[in-house]
Structure 1
Amino acid sequence: MPNDGTAPTGRPRAAEQGGGRRIDALDVLRGVAILGTLGTNIWIFTDPDGPAGFLAGLPAPDSVAGTAETVLRFLANGKFLALLTLLFGIGLELQYRSALRRGRRWPGWYLWRAALLFTEGVLHFVLVFEFDVLMGYAVVSMLVAYLIGRRALVVGAWAGVAAVLHLASISLLTAALVVLPDSVRETPEPLVGLYAHGGYPEQVAVRLSEVLVYRSESVFIVPLGIVLFLAGSRLHRAGVLADTVGGARLRRRLMALGLGIGVPANLATSLLGPDWFLADRYLCAPLVALGLLGLVPALVLRSRRGPGPVRRALGAVGRTALSSYVGQNVIASVLCYGWGLGLAATLADWRPWWVLAAWAAICVLQLLLASWWLRRFERGPLELAWHWAYLAPQRRGRARPPSGPGAGTETEQMGVAR
């Protein structure tokens, strides 16, 4: 969620394939992905049993409330996370292009960016949220950074192997869920009540003690991350965000794949029940994300009268993606957990209606806050801290007296574009 490599500007500008200006459609896409990711995570925060209750599966669709929750969770499950992963791949492509344009080594200082992202992910996991995605993205970005500039045949081979590994692992795990008795997958007793009534230090302690459980997802979806990062990079090269005939054709194909095939497949796996959760989230949802990658830019580029208030606000969330992602999880924690307002337990009988209201309220708040902040600063609060940390070692390098042959070219060799 760090900057995509283009310089921030006061206002969103039209989509471009490169250069120094921001890509408006990309900012809007990020905003949609961030708010949509909350649409998945909000069910974790609002479950009285916390992550353990969420992992226990969907409620039985034997009532209006149960059916509504099943449908609402289907609408968000995995789709926006996969979209966010595709957008990370586009951001990596932009960083790579910027490095080439400036004559800088690759991956060079990008690895420092990835290390900072991993550090942010560790802090976010320990202090805020069990299912942090930043750590996984950092690891995948380090791997893909060495692939992104390779020949198409090499990239295709890596993507193909990763896709086969991912398909095999999800198929085996889904088969295991289908055959295992439900009693094996009950909510762990020690965690019941912790999030509804326990204190903040106790929650941090559980995250640390159960780190293998909560980080297992980040490990087994590394192959999917590689596929989506590389897909995002190649789709950007193919012009998915470009206002061209070829770009429009590519977007239509993505919409046909994602919305015409992905959505029905995703609906089918949702209706098959909780045993098919992994297939629903990690096989079908990425297809839907490709459809969204075609749909959102098509809507943005169709408008010729400039961005309206909703589009500007979504773009603001996209430009402050890291702050918005962490911020929404902090807000949801304060609202839902026992050490905060404790609404998860207090309003448990009002699920899923109050959950939908909480998601909408947090989204509106973030749209307003991001817009307000960017009228005063060029980056989000966490982005400012991240930018300072990224530049700090480079400043120290520039401060050292030149020594040896080629010392005068040191500045040109440093890092990737910001």
Structure 2
Amino acid sequence: MDKQDGAPAQRLVTLDALRGFAVMGILAMNIVAFAMPEAAYISPKAYGGGTPADLAGWAIGFILFDGKMRGLFSILFGASMLLIVERARASGQDAAAVHYRRMAWLAVFGFAHYLFLWWGDILFLYACIGCIAFAFRDWEARRLIRWAVGLFALGTLLMTSLFGAQLVLAQAVDDPDAPAAMAAAGRDVIAGYVGLGDAVDAELALYRGGYLPILAERLGHADTPLLMVLMSALETLPLMMIGMALLRSGFLAGRWESAAYRRTALRWLPPGLLLTILLAWVQWRGGFDYLLSLNIFLAWAQPARLMMTIGYVALLVLLIRRHAASGWIARVAAAGQAAFSNYIGTSLVMTSLFYGYGLGLFGAVGRLPLYLFVIGASALMLLWSKPWLARFRYGPLEWLWRSLARGAVQPMRRASPAQ
């Protein structure tokens, strides 16, 4: 997430601007998890889906953002990791030591983020998977892509098998021809989701209250970040490997011909979009049954997300190259250079707005109006990042991470022109 000093100017603009779009875009889906109970992230039937406007807000999030911005973030993390490893080697440093120190401190930041701010942290996940991704640092691009696709397919298959089995068992309850053992197992599955309404009510009470009960609840579930690593490893690792491959091939640096980026976008974005729309229709047609939506969220939507993510990357690179000299791309790139600070800062702002120890808006804002908060937060990122980086070398948390990983306070303030 941190800025890559010393890279060519065009490469910096492309990578940092992509990261800026990603850190703003990821909030477009995370906003639901900030503002509503966790189950609402999976299905509008669980919470926040009672009006046509709510359903429109859900459709926008599911079709355009869900998993795609996280995918972009993961791809860029893999690319940044490879850049830092290569730079460490070029300067004669121990690349493994540099990498693992960075990942260790990122894990600390991530766990603190989860514990003290917000349950939806991804930094701890990235730190753990980043340690594994280091093993593939010397692979050439085609090999990285082949293995990434294979691992991604394996993860999708495992999730489909695990949660699809639950769906089949639950449907067996209403099938008079189903074996008794299968129907009994199905009733057990359904019983596990019966308490969903009570869980939603409990979350509403918790997050509309004070800070200490929220902290106590997180302390009681301190293993959640590790569980997320186990659940998401076969999605996140392949995406990081794809990021390494796309950097190594020059794709992320904007070095391909424009026609190649257009072909990539046309090859992957339309089928991914059509499949995502189909899955949205399946959920609507199924009455947003929670178990059905869970299967789609964790498994069935994965291929379409990957296709759309690659398509988005191609379109964004074209956009960035076309407007590389513009002031607004410079601001997006600055937001990307300070992506770590912007990501954590977003959690600080949003929890202060929605949780009870702040303005207490949790569960009180509809899905569609939530996008106004996304627009406002994105505007803040664009407003503060560029002036800050005009005076300082790094964002605040980028500087802290870099200093801790290097074991020495890093120079922060830029030299003035008169010096």
- 1:184 equivalent in alignment to 2:209: no
Q: Output one character per residue of 1:334-393: Cα deviation in whole Å (capped at 9) or x when no partner.
A: 000111101224xx2x51233111111111122212123222212111111112112216
Matches within 5 A, 1:172-321: 172-176=161-165, 178-179=167-168, 180=170, 184-185=192-193, 186-189=196-199, 191-213=202-224, 215-244=226-255, 246-273=256-283, 274-275=293-294, 276-279=296-299, 282-303=302-323, 306-308=325-327, 310-321=328-339
CA contact (8 A) 1:170 1:282 kept: no
The structure-2 alpha-carbon separation of the partners of 1:267 and 1:182, relative to structure 1 and needing over 3 Å to count, comes to farther
CA-CA distance at 1:37 after TM superposition: 0.8
Q: Residue in 1 aligned with 2:389?
A: 374
Distance (Å, rounded) in 2 between the aligned partners of 1:254 and 1:260: 11
CA-CA distance at 1:178 after TM superposition: 3.1
The match for 2:74 among 37, 62, 85 is 85
Distance (Å, rounded) in 1 between the aligned partners of 2:162 and 2:61: 21
The structure-2 alpha-carbon separation of the partners of 1:280 and 1:44, relative to structure 1 and needing over 3 Å to count, comes to farther
Q: Secondary structure at the match of 1:221?
A: helix
CA-CA distance at 1:214 after TM superposition: 5.9
Q: Residue in 2 aligned with 1:54?
A: 41
Q: Output one character per residue of 1:233-256: Cα deviation in whole Å (capped at 9) or x when no partner.
A: 111111113454x44344234312
Q: Secondary structure at the match of 2:118?
A: coil
CA-CA distance at 1:272 after TM superposition: 1.7
Q: Residue in 2 aligned with 1:391?
A: 406
The structure-2 alpha-carbon separation of the partners of 1:321 and 1:153, relative to structure 1 and needing over 3 Å to count, comes to closer
Q: Output one character per residue of 1:47-102: Cα deviation in whole Å (capped at 9) or x when no partner.
A: 1xx32543565568674223212212212211100000000111122123213322
TM-score after normalising by structure 1: 0.82
Distance (Å, rounded) in 2 between the aligned partners of 1:154 and 1:39: 33
CA-CA distance at 1:175 after TM superposition: 0.9
The structure-2 alpha-carbon separation of the partners of 1:118 and 1:25, relative to structure 1 and needing over 3 Å to count, comes to same
Distance (Å, rounded) in 1 between the aligned partners of 2:152 and 2:226: 21
Distance (Å, rounded) in 1 between the aligned partners of 2:142 and 2:304: 26
CA contact (8 A) 1:25 1:241 kept: yes
Distance (Å, rounded) in 1 between the aligned partners of 2:134 and 2:230: 18
Distance (Å, rounded) in 1 between the aligned partners of 2:252 and 2:147: 24
The structure-2 alpha-carbon separation of the partners of 1:61 and 1:170, relative to structure 1 and needing over 3 Å to count, comes to same
Which amino acid in structure 1 is aligned with residue 387 of structure 2?
A: W
Say which is worse superposed, 311-320 or 166-175, in terms of deviation. Answer: 166-175
Distance (Å, rounded) in 1 between the aligned partners of 2:142 and 2:247: 17
Structure 1 runs not aligned, ≥5 long? 17-22, 396-418
What is the aligned-residue identity percentage?
25
- 1:15 equivalent in alignment to 2:15: no
CA contact (8 A) 1:29 1:318 kept: yes
Say which is worse superposed, 174-183 or 72-81, in terms of deviation. Answer: 174-183
Q: Output one character per residue of 1:9-32: Cα deviation in whole Å (capped at 9) or x when no partner.
A: xxxx7423xxxxxx1011111011
Q: Residue in 1 aligned with 2:26?
A: 37
Q: Secondary structure at the match of 2:119?
A: coil
User: Cα RMSD over matched residues?
Assistant: 2.7
Q: Output one character per residue of 1:303-339: Cα deviation in whole Å (capped at 9) or x when no partner.
A: 37x122x212211110101000000011000000111
CA-CA distance at 1:158 after TM superposition: 4.4
CA contact (8 A) 2:22 2:69 kept: yes
Structure 2 runs not aligned, ≥5 long? 171-188, 284-292, 411-419
Matches within 5 A, 1:57-68: 57-58=44-45, 63-68=51-56
Q: Residue in 1 aligned with 2:104?
A: 115
Distance (Å, rounded) in 2 between the aligned partners of 1:136 and 1:375: 31
Which amino acid in structure 1 is aligned with residue 400 of structure 2?
A: A
CA contact (8 A) 1:136 1:219 kept: no
Q: Output one character per residue of 1:105-143: Cα deviation in whole Å (capped at 9) or x when no partner.
A: 332321111111111111111011112111111111111
Q: Output one character per residue of 1:164-184: Cα deviation in whole Å (capped at 9) or x when no partner.
A: 431222212441453446653
Q: Output one character per residue of 1:148-198: Cα deviation in whole Å (capped at 9) or x when no partner.
A: 113568646643552243122221244145344665321453733234422
Q: Residue in 1 aligned with 2:354?
A: 336
- Count the aligned residue pairs: 376
Q: Output one character per residue of 1:256-308: Cα deviation in whole Å (capped at 9) or x when no partner.
A: 2331221111222222212422236533222211111111111111237x122
TM-score after normalising by structure 2: 0.81
